Structure 1
Amino acid sequence: WGVTPPLVNPLGGDVTITDLPVALDQIRENVRRNVPGGATAARRRPRVRALAWGLDHGAFPRGYDVVLGADVVYEPRSFPALLATLRHLCGPRSVALLCCGMRRELGAARFFHELLPRHFRTDPLQPSLEQPRCPHGLQSEDF
């Protein structure tokens, strides 16, 4: 849950927040506390859904306009499942922004520089001094 859904949602974005089932109650509580109530707001309330990479991404539509991922690159064994999920969620016009700490022991550089470019056009974005992370923009090469 982070700052992105509260910023995108009021702008009229149709937001789906995903995580593993164990985190969903906390995310729903965060949505309840941070998204204003009322009938109009209820229509714009972010959906909260379980998503286990590589397993149930087929339950989601293809071709989201924007896919945002924060701290999703943390376990090299999960990289194939993460890639499969990104390939499903991203269509030919999708833009994805992934941001994470570039910790060598977590294999982030390998993920961004070797694995992602096999399936996506990637564009490293400049981190700021305030946010010393390595954001990457990507677009699908499969379409």
Structure 2
Amino acid sequence: MSCSGDEDDPFPADHCLFTETFSQETVYKLLGEELKIRQVYGAHLGVAAPVWEAALYLCDYLEQQRVELRGKRVIELGAGTGVVGIAAARLGAEVTLTDLPLALQHLEANVSINKPSSGWPSVPPSVLPLSWGEDHVNFPSDWDLVIGADIIYLPETYPLLVETLAHLCSEEALVYLSSRMREEHQTPCFYEEYLPSRFNVELVHRDDNENYNIYRASLRTEQ
């Protein structure tokens, strides 16, 4: 069976992961919050369907480092299931979750089922489409944090992602990116060459056993 997909497919990574569509809900304890995340497995969602380990690593890091989220303006790129951003919103962050249009219904469903019984402590998370390098200019630049988990896997998108990050971070936002370091997808190259072209980049966590890195970055100011 061929695993090749439509060249216009925005989620090309593993076309044959999910040959039949089904959903499941999994409960996670993240950032001190209990989240119920619906994962809809099906070819139409591809890599946007599951909770990837990089997202769980990022949540653990933010909790261990006591990164302040309450009252912060946070945007998540390539949010997928939205697990990181939803956890931040449960802690009082003002969160915008973004992905390609195909994933937005999936995101909205997870926001809905994770609304606290007492209501969101800040504002409900926003869910918006964002295609890197195209409509990023429609978004503001006054974020406190820009986050992403396992979004570095398509080399042709790397310049577009850097352009998008530079726009979002033009007012001194911090970026936290969590990635499995896949040589076959040139993930190390993104952090060693593409991102440093515009950003100060720091490796803040490394899991050698599972090959996950977490990076913190800030936009370089011209001297």
Using the size of structure 2 for normalisation, the TM-score is 0.59
- The aligned residue for residue 189 of structure 2 is 110
Q: How many residues align?
A: 142
Percent identical pairs in the alignment equals: 34
Query: What per-residue deviation string (whole Å, max 9, x for no partner) do you get for residues 8-59 of structure 1?
Result: 1132211000000000000000100112256x43962100000000000011
Q: Which of the residues 54, 62, 70 maps onto 2:149? A: 70
- The aligned residue for residue 32 of structure 1 is 112
Alpha-carbon distance in 1 for matches of 2:115, 2:179: 26
Closer/same/farther in 2, CA of residues 68 and 111 from structure 1, 3 Å limit: same
In the TM superposition, residue 125 of structure 1 has moved relative to its aligned partner by 1.6
Is it true that 1:133 corresponds to 2:221 in the alignment?
Answer: no
Gaps of 5+ in 2: 1-80
Q: Which of the residues 87, 90, 108 maps onto 1:10? A: 90
Instruction: Give yes or no for contact 1:75–1:106 (8 Å, CA) kept in 2.
Output: yes
Gaps of 5+ in 1: none
Q: Which of the residues 160, 166, 170 maps onto 1:91? A: 170
Structure having the higher Rg: 2
Closer/same/farther in 2, CA of residues 131 and 3 from structure 1, 3 Å limit: farther
The one-letter code matched in structure 2 to 1:105 is: E
Instruction: Give yes or no for contact 1:120–1:141 (8 Å, CA) kept in 2.
Output: yes
RMSD across aligned C-alpha pairs, in angstroms? 2.0
- Structure having the higher helix fraction is 1
Alpha-carbon distance in 1 for matches of 2:105, 2:137: 22
Higher relative contact order (CA 8 A, sep 6+): 1
Instruction: Give yes or no for contact 1:64–1:90 (8 Å, CA) kept in 2.
Output: yes
